[in-house]
Structure 1
Amino acid sequence: MLDTNVKIRDQRKIIDRRAMQEAMSRAAAGITDESEMRMAWLSVLKPALAQGREEIRSRFFEDHDGATCVRAYCFLIDQMLRVLYDAVVQHLYPAPNPTDAEKIAIVAVGGYGRGELAPQSDIDLLFLHHRKPAARVDQIVETILYMLWDIGLKVGHSTRSVDECLRQAKADWTICTALLETRFIWGEKSLFSDLRIRFRKHIVEGREMDFLEAKMSERNERHERMGDSRYVLEPNIKDGKGGLRDLHTLYWTSKFIYNVEDIAQLTGEGVLTQREVDLFTKAQSFLWAVRCHLHYLVGRAEERLTFDVQPELASRMAYTDRPSSSGVERFMRHYFLVAKDVGDLTRIFLAAFEAAQKRTGLSRLTNKVFRKEIDGFQMDGQRLTVEDRKRFRNEPLDMLRLFRTANRNGLEIHPDALTALSRSLSKISPAIRNDPEANRIFMDILCAEQDPDKTLRQMNECGLLGKFVPDFGRVVAQMQYDMYHVYTTDEHTIRAIGILNRIERGLLNDDHPVAAKVMQQIQSRNVLYVAVLLHDIAKGRGGDHSELGAKVARTLCPRFGMSEAETETVAWLVLHHLSMSKTATKRDLEDPKTLKDFVDLVQSPERLRLLLCLTVVDIKAVGPNVWNNWKATLLRELHARAEEVMSGVSASEGRGQRAAAAKARLAKRLEEAGWSEDDITRHLDRAGKGYYLSLDIDTLVHHAWIIRSAQSDRDDLTLETRVDAGKSVTELSVYCTDHPGLIARLSGAIALAGANVVDAKISTLKDGMALDTFLLQDEDGGAFSRPNQLARLSAMIRQSLSGEIKPMEELAKRAKTALPSRTNVFTVPPRVLIDNKASTNYTVIEVNGRDRPGLLYRLTAALTEHRLQIAIAKISTYGEQVVDVFYVKDTFGMKIDHAGKLEQVREALRLALIEGERQTAPPSTALAKKTAAKSRAKRVESRGTEAAE
């Protein structure tokens, strides 16, 4: 959308066309051979292009003006093409009086035609000619293209006659769009003028609505392909929702329908206000600046704002850190707000375009005669609208009523009504926010029986939600710079409300059977919906968002018309909305202390039900691959055991009963499988209660057969894997003699095999044997299940335990040759928390840091080095951050309570977190010593044989 009124300062410092023409003529002097002449011209063109690019680049880094940058690039290429064309037709293919068949025009199309040429963008050209071009035309085109390619430009091109252009434009909307934004560069201008006149007459007139529908359909398909949200945290600046392509679509449509060259001209058509034109210009300038910075940063035509480029872009665009948010988070929030503005403009444009294409007066009269009303709002087709554009200014509550009516009746809202509403948002005053009727309407929308998320999202996109609930407005477009959160805070919240509603309606029973059942038992659904709305309301305020959010809840809930008891419950839910997931993923659910602490926190069955539902939708709404069956299993288990304790069964009593019941079920299964009574008794005596409580009956039976087979075959090491597709995990069971360092070596081998540990059960049986169970996933969060993966896993474990490979050294080698991990761009402060109160029998150590291959091995090796026994490991990964929890004892089977020892352990783990290549090796296992002894014996035997010979 080139603004021809904007002059580029000191144009000749970018490129001096007259001086270049003279240089090209001098270079061609005395040369008759075409290839030699082209080589001579390259010596002029290449330096000129490089010098022009560098001048534009240096100016851009001074003023960060993306609009001027893209225009300057167009100017540079324009002048290069003009110089090259003149040289070719003068020195290679002269024609003093060319015939029509010999005439040609160079026309810019695509982004270049619009006047938008980012530093690494392709150059799209149309070589326009008459019906039957002479050979001279092909020669000129070929020479120009080869010269452009030789100087390093990326050129897309087509060579067509005016008739061909029109014929193809009529059959293909993509070609039609390309011709819509053509711009004359050089050559025979009459050809270009003929194309423009005939294009408007034969292609445009009468097809305005067809073009609009085609572009909107194309836009919707593109949005769906790119994720259908403008709040994806690695957005595509060009093709993503709210990006440059959406602005292009508005430009194309306005040009097609209104025949304007500049968006500003739409004010004269009554389509846009001056404020909206300014918003368009501001959004476009920002996106241009970001795109130019991105191209300069990566050195290619990259359009995605990936995590690795976001910090540098933020720095280059002068976004600095503040107490409540980092520079990169401020930059990305600005980006998402601009994307939202683009969405607002799209809606306003659509309303105006539709109005421009109204049918005849008779049709409008007929519509008015048969038009019906719903709750005081007019119907236009199947959409709610308002006839008086000042209605919302006079009756601000009708803004909320409009959305409630649309939701209750399953209707869309006409773009005209949304435009009028957006232009009246200033009428949402404190008095309106505190109006009881306004808040009743808002609660009707939030707690609607059908699709409240759809209504809330539309309210958010037009700005009403943030205006009515300013605290929510503070998290609109707010991102969290990490790999775990996929959406901005506002989008995450609205998605969570939608998931809750679908669970309540029974649409997700297969995915969330317990939550679906619990939802039917909840006494106050309004409390739950408000808690979901507010659970992240205080993010980005520079403190604990749960604590700050609870304070916000105590202020907002009374405004929403909630009672004192309801307000307190909402505030409690917001304060503790992370507690259930933390307990499930970080604590041993078989430890009575874990259950006691959790039940003491929750206190009532109703709060337990509310917290379960809130936890489920919160995790599910983080992103498409965050929720999995393993997390679901943990939450269901915690809910069931907490409910059991609340029903009156003590944790220890319930634990003993469950252990006895588990042993009885196992005994029955083994008896049915043909085991003798003595064998069953001996097997049941191998382990304590914790072992039988921590595993399901199928796993207990599986382990029994592993032990029986190993003892029968006298195996030093037994490995078994089972894929549980339902839980998206692979269960690895390892049975061998227990030794210090065993867990570390197993962890190292698993890392070398490429698997991720999501949970581990460490069991030492009464006879000194280790029976350790690991739950594994692949990098995509699925079961580690391919045959080649499992074969490699087995080989790595055997080699690690035998001492044939040293995991630390192997991981260090791989780190040097591996592709850089995406987690490298993030900084996760290393943190080690040691808790002696979380468990009665163990010291609980929680480790937080940046995830990387082999980290679990380094951590477990450090614990082994300090002679600690690892009984339970809870492994969780949140994007680039890992949270590992270890239940440990000292060599005497006691908690670690010596302050000095605790500090040594803390420092060792901290060093393991920050020194990725630290050479920490655990003591050799018995299997490694045994293998080494056999090798030595063979060498001795071999030497003895050699000596005898």
Structure 2
Amino acid sequence: MSVLRIPNQRAVIDRRRLAEAIAGVVGEKGAQKARADVLALVRQALEDGRRELEQRLEEKPSAGHEITSGYAFLIDQLIRVLHDHVISDVYPVGNRSSGERLTLIAVGGYGRGEMAPHSDVDIAFITPARNTAWCEQVIEALLYYLWDLGLKVGQSSRSVDEMVRMAKSDLTIRTALLEGRYLWGDEALFDETSQRFWGEVVAGSGAKFVAEKLEERNARHKRMGDSRYVVEPNVKDGKGGLRDLQTLYWIGKYVHRVRSAADLVEVGLLTTKEYRSFRRAENFMLAVRCHLHTITKRAEDRLTFDLQREVATRMHFADRPGKSAVERFMQFYFMQAQHVGHLTGVFLAHIDEQMAERRRPTGLLAAFRRRARDYKGYRVMDGRLRAPTDGWFAQDPVRLIEIFQIVEEEGLEIHPATMRVIRRDATLVDNQLRKDPRANALFLKLLTGRRDAETALRWMNESGVFGRFVPDFGKVNAQMQYDMYHHYTVDEHTIRAIGLLGRIERGELTQDHPLATELIPKLASRRVLYVATLLHDIAKGRGGDHSELGADIALTLCPRFGLDEAETQLVSWLVRYHLLMSATAFKRDLADPKTIDDFVAQVQNLERMRHLMVLTIVDIRAVGPGIWNSWKRQLLGDLYLAAEERMRLGDNAHGRPHRVAAKRARVAEMLGDLSHLIDELDSRFDDEFWLSEPEDVIALNLPHYAAAKQLQDRLSIHAHYYPKRGATLVTVIGDDHPGLFYRIAGAIHLAGANIIDARIHTTHAGKAVDNFLVQDPVGQPFREDQQLERLKISIRDAIANRIELVPQLAKRPLARPRAASFDVQPEVFVDNDASRSFTVIEVNARDRPALLNRLARTLFECSLMVNSAHITQFGERVVDSFYVTDLLGGKVTSKSRLAQVKEALLKAASETAEAEAA
């Protein structure tokens, strides 16, 4: 495959002029003494060529093929000039022997003629037999020149026999040579090498090569996240990326010996339209890769958050109402990745059929072949559903919905040839079809399918039918959410949530979600839950509150799908309030009765809450790996059970003496022989302690407090793994004094932990009993003895003033370094209605190690007492909620004082103030 011809090649590099300049300095100084001058000339040519190509990329930011071919051309000419200089001037041989022959083959991406600015230069040096001294000298001299130019060279030096032997046994070598392109040197030797490769290595091994490449591809996808919709994709190796396109070409070339991607049309593996789609996707992704290399000045292939914005700007994407330039750029990227996925499916299926045809028995054995069967007018063979005619869907467009419902219900796949027809005929989905009761009934049956709705809906989405049948869903197709919290595009997140819902209902996730598994069979309408899951994020990217906008969309779509009035109203409510349960559980104090009262007032009945509980779980878990954890499961479960009890018992559940007495009785059972501590320490702890702490924590706190009291220990620190909540419980018991909370918070961060929940108590004897739940930066508990000891030492040193917290915290690196790519403006909200006893202050800001310490210190400086703190992370953003009182134990109600507190917290949350303090 030759390098694409690029315009005005001499502006990139003039090989003749460079060769003449080298000949001039060699003639003047001699080959050995002129080496530095030769290197300087070639280096200048390389820099000038790169500068020219960078300028062209700036002028034509989407010209991926032209720019990558330009870089390959530039390197070609440099290597050719250097080769000629070495064999003519450095190691000249008057009459070379038959063994003193050398051919240079460009292999890999370089051989394909696609080079990003900092791609490796992959060269195979081939000799007739074992290297002669002359061949070794020439190869070594060439490599030193290339290394001195700063190029990263991937090289091999082999005889023809060695090449054949190693290519047979090594898939990577075989793939690299598959794209071998004559670069320079002995052409006859190149022809011999090529003939032996195709005749001795490739011949008869097509099926094995295809199987190995597909296995390699699957392993790569798994390593890269196994989705083409991850929000920081790898342009080269990610699913739907350049490597997938290259795999198609490799397989086509290996099996059919195609010379270029265009030849895939001639051998029937792609249609002309699909080939154009292939080239568009490849051109775009090559351009993106060139921009990544140019920006970073290295071989960077991952489209990270910090680079996405700059690449979007360079490629001239602009902001639009409701969507930023970077979101529009990434949406276009994912649409190209989607095209790659479709091409891959169609292509591989054709290859599979072609190879199966070759293996198919003939003669008498042909009678024993498996026969196709009919199913509702379709043909089924080998687990694949196929349309009987090319005009099947045009005859009745409802079949465009029906086919996906059938494959879900029957556990089949759609034949790639039929999928190709579906993509072509997706334009048949119009308003008439959208209003068709049959089509909507089939769609609802598919959505609520009990076998594998997720896979069928993903096929439907990638075919283009889904977005046309539900245009509101089409608007979020391939739409990314520009933050570190969401791992997938909106459509992929939604489809994954539906898949999780199905798995929970089938009982596959009972251990992870026991409550949700128990609730689903109790629902009055399971289809309400599936439709609400489909619609919960459908209004994202419209510039308003997606929950409110989505609720309005639900009122229109649900009747169309066939839901009755009651179901429609419930779906709309669920979409409107799908964030209510997580916000309450993660940002509010569940021990405060007012929290439960307000939640119940919003939910109103058990049926709504059951739906909301399951919807909340699948929504959070479908965000991405590592987002769901046992801490969130526990909080949501606690909220559900408390709200259920409130609905069941009404006001009787809130009798304060009754609740305290019930908890004391349960703690007594847990303490066993130590239950006498409850009465002995009764005068120390007030009702707030009993009401706010879980029974198992109280059962730990009381013996710890009693032991510290007996030993007259002024500071007692305990840390242990708390499996129930998937965190580490840190308890600090000691003399209470102003600023204790912010010192402990800073110390815990210095020890490498994040606080996710905190409860602050002061006994009647003036002792502090503070409980903290902590995790490491990736949401895992501290378990190792040395980790727990580090926590204790850090807290002890901070309380004793042996460390300066602010400078030390400022030195700590970000737990999520890429968070710096996001501009999160701090916000402060004050709510005096969320609790009967406390003022609730919520701070939203960009996450960083010193934040909680600074906020806690600011509250202390504002003369506020923190009763509890609740910390929730959303990728780069963190929400810290504090339940506070003034020094007299009352709410903060003065407007002027609240304004001062908000101003102080905003300053503390801003990174400018933090930098100044450091």
Bin for the TM-score computed over the shorter chain? over 0.9
How much has 1:652 moved relative to structure 2?
5.5
| Alignment correspondent of 2:716 | 718
| Alignment correspondent of 2:874 | 878
Aligned amino acid, residue 714 of structure 1: Q
After the TM superposition, which of the residue ranges 172-181 and 104-113 deviates more from structure 2? 172-181
| Distance (Å, rounded) in 2 between the aligned partners of 1:890 and 1:513 | 42
1:253-278: per-residue Cα shift (whole Å, max 9, x none)?
A: 22223332222233344443332222
CA 1:139–1:369: 2 relative to 1, 3 Å: closer
SS at the partner of 2:154?
A: strand
1:582 maps onto 2:579 in alignment? no
| Alignment correspondent of 2:679 | 681
How much has 1:168 moved relative to structure 2?
2.7
How much has 1:669 moved relative to structure 2?
4.8
Alignment of 1:252-401 (within 5 A): 252-357=250-355, 358-359=357-358, 362=362, 366=367, 370-401=371-402
| Distance (Å, rounded) in 1 between the aligned partners of 2:518 and 2:92 | 84
1:749 maps onto 2:747 in alignment? yes
CA 1:821–1:361: 2 relative to 1, 3 Å: closer
Aligned amino acid, residue 308 of structure 1: D
Alignment of 1:83-98 (within 5 A): 83-98=81-96
1:113 maps onto 2:111 in alignment? yes
How much has 1:356 moved relative to structure 2?
3.7
SS at the partner of 2:262?
A: helix
Given that 2:3 and 2:112 are in contact with CA atoms closer than 8 Å, whether structure 1 keeps it comes out as no
| Distance (Å, rounded) in 2 between the aligned partners of 1:242 and 1:130 | 40
Given that 1:595 and 1:651 are in contact with CA atoms closer than 8 Å, whether structure 2 keeps it comes out as no
| Alignment correspondent of 2:595 | 594
Given that 2:224 and 2:239 are in contact with CA atoms closer than 8 Å, whether structure 1 keeps it comes out as yes
Instruction: Tell me the TM-score normalised to structure 2 length.
Output: 0.96
| Distance (Å, rounded) in 1 between the aligned partners of 2:211 and 2:419 | 20
Residue 73 of structure 2, aligned match among 72, 75, 84: 75
| Alignment correspondent of 2:660 | 659
Identity score, percent? 47
1:860 maps onto 2:861 in alignment? no
| Alignment correspondent of 2:510 | 509
Residue 689 of structure 2, aligned match among 685, 691, 700: 691
SS at the partner of 1:29?
A: helix
1:460 maps onto 2:456 in alignment? no
SS at the partner of 2:772?
A: strand
| Distance (Å, rounded) in 1 between the aligned partners of 2:347 and 2:305 | 32
1:802-854: per-residue Cα shift (whole Å, max 9, x none)?
A: 22333223323x15x87983211111121111111111111111110101111
Aligned amino acid, residue 54 of structure 2: R
Count, aligned residues: 913
CA 1:420–1:820: 2 relative to 1, 3 Å: closer
| Alignment correspondent of 1:54 | 51
CA 1:684–1:819: 2 relative to 1, 3 Å: closer
Given that 1:757 and 1:774 are in contact with CA atoms closer than 8 Å, whether structure 2 keeps it comes out as yes
1:900 maps onto 2:901 in alignment? no
After the TM superposition, which of the residue ranges 783-792 and 610-619 deviates more from structure 2? 783-792
SS at the partner of 2:649?
A: coil
Given that 1:596 and 1:651 are in contact with CA atoms closer than 8 Å, whether structure 2 keeps it comes out as no
After the TM superposition, which of the residue ranges 76-85 and 168-177 deviates more from structure 2? 168-177
| Distance (Å, rounded) in 1 between the aligned partners of 2:271 and 2:580 | 49
How much has 1:35 moved relative to structure 2?
4.4
Aligned amino acid, residue 463 of structure 2: C
| Distance (Å, rounded) in 1 between the aligned partners of 2:395 and 2:210 | 33
Aligned amino acid, residue 42 of structure 2: L
| Distance (Å, rounded) in 2 between the aligned partners of 1:531 and 1:908 | 41
| Alignment correspondent of 2:183 | 185
Given that 1:862 and 1:920 are in contact with CA atoms closer than 8 Å, whether structure 2 keeps it comes out as no
CA 1:134–1:666: 2 relative to 1, 3 Å: closer
Given that 1:736 and 1:769 are in contact with CA atoms closer than 8 Å, whether structure 2 keeps it comes out as yes
| Distance (Å, rounded) in 1 between the aligned partners of 2:894 and 2:281 | 60
CA 1:515–1:369: 2 relative to 1, 3 Å: closer
Alignment of 1:311-710 (within 5 A): 311-357=309-355, 358-359=357-358, 362=362, 366=367, 370-650=371-651, 653=654, 655-670=656-671, 672-673=673-674, 675=676, 680-710=678-708
Residue 825 of structure 1, aligned match among 821, 824, 845: 821
CA 1:647–1:132: 2 relative to 1, 3 Å: closer
CA 1:193–1:859: 2 relative to 1, 3 Å: same
1:294-319: per-residue Cα shift (whole Å, max 9, x none)?
A: 01111111111112222222222222
| Distance (Å, rounded) in 1 between the aligned partners of 2:370 and 2:298 | 59
| Distance (Å, rounded) in 1 between the aligned partners of 2:544 and 2:774 | 35
How much has 1:769 moved relative to structure 2?
2.1
How much has 1:423 moved relative to structure 2?
1.7
After the TM superposition, which of the residue ranges 755-764 and 733-742 deviates more from structure 2? 733-742
SS at the partner of 2:725?
A: coil
Given that 2:25 and 2:37 are in contact with CA atoms closer than 8 Å, whether structure 1 keeps it comes out as yes
Given that 2:385 and 2:407 are in contact with CA atoms closer than 8 Å, whether structure 1 keeps it comes out as yes
Structure 1: gaps (5+ residues): 922-949
SS at the partner of 2:866?
A: strand
| Distance (Å, rounded) in 1 between the aligned partners of 2:694 and 2:816 | 39
SS at the partner of 2:835?
A: coil
| Distance (Å, rounded) in 2 between the aligned partners of 1:521 and 1:193 | 73
How much has 1:2 moved relative to structure 2?
5.0
Given that 1:718 and 1:734 are in contact with CA atoms closer than 8 Å, whether structure 2 keeps it comes out as yes
Aligned amino acid, residue 848 of structure 1: N
How much has 1:634 moved relative to structure 2?
0.9
| Distance (Å, rounded) in 2 between the aligned partners of 1:830 and 1:91 | 67
How much has 1:37 moved relative to structure 2?
4.3
Aligned amino acid, residue 53 of structure 1: R
1:778 maps onto 2:776 in alignment? yes
| Alignment correspondent of 1:41 | 38
Provide the alpha-carbon RMSD of the alignment.
2.2
Aligned amino acid, residue 849 of structure 2: P
1:438-472: per-residue Cα shift (whole Å, max 9, x none)?
A: 11111111111122112112222222222221111
| Distance (Å, rounded) in 2 between the aligned partners of 1:900 and 1:281 | 63
| Distance (Å, rounded) in 2 between the aligned partners of 1:680 and 1:747 | 29
Given that 1:755 and 1:777 are in contact with CA atoms closer than 8 Å, whether structure 2 keeps it comes out as yes
Aligned amino acid, residue 735 of structure 2: T
| Alignment correspondent of 1:929 | none
How much has 1:918 moved relative to structure 2?
4.4
How much has 1:133 moved relative to structure 2?
4.5
CA 1:443–1:919: 2 relative to 1, 3 Å: closer
| Alignment correspondent of 1:927 | none
| Distance (Å, rounded) in 2 between the aligned partners of 1:622 and 1:485 | 5
CA 1:254–1:671: 2 relative to 1, 3 Å: closer
| Distance (Å, rounded) in 2 between the aligned partners of 1:499 and 1:351 | 28
CA 1:25–1:626: 2 relative to 1, 3 Å: same
CA 1:38–1:667: 2 relative to 1, 3 Å: same
After the TM superposition, which of the residue ranges 478-487 and 461-470 deviates more from structure 2? 461-470
Aligned amino acid, residue 565 of structure 2: E
Aligned amino acid, residue 455 of structure 1: A
SS at the partner of 1:21?
A: helix
How much has 1:428 moved relative to structure 2?
1.4
| Distance (Å, rounded) in 2 between the aligned partners of 1:397 and 1:641 | 47
How much has 1:913 moved relative to structure 2?
0.8
| Distance (Å, rounded) in 2 between the aligned partners of 1:163 and 1:897 | 88
Given that 1:737 and 1:770 are in contact with CA atoms closer than 8 Å, whether structure 2 keeps it comes out as yes
Given that 2:719 and 2:792 are in contact with CA atoms closer than 8 Å, whether structure 1 keeps it comes out as no
SS at the partner of 2:158?
A: strand
How much has 1:739 moved relative to structure 2?
2.6
Residue 157 of structure 2, aligned match among 148, 156, 159: 159
| Alignment correspondent of 1:849 | 845
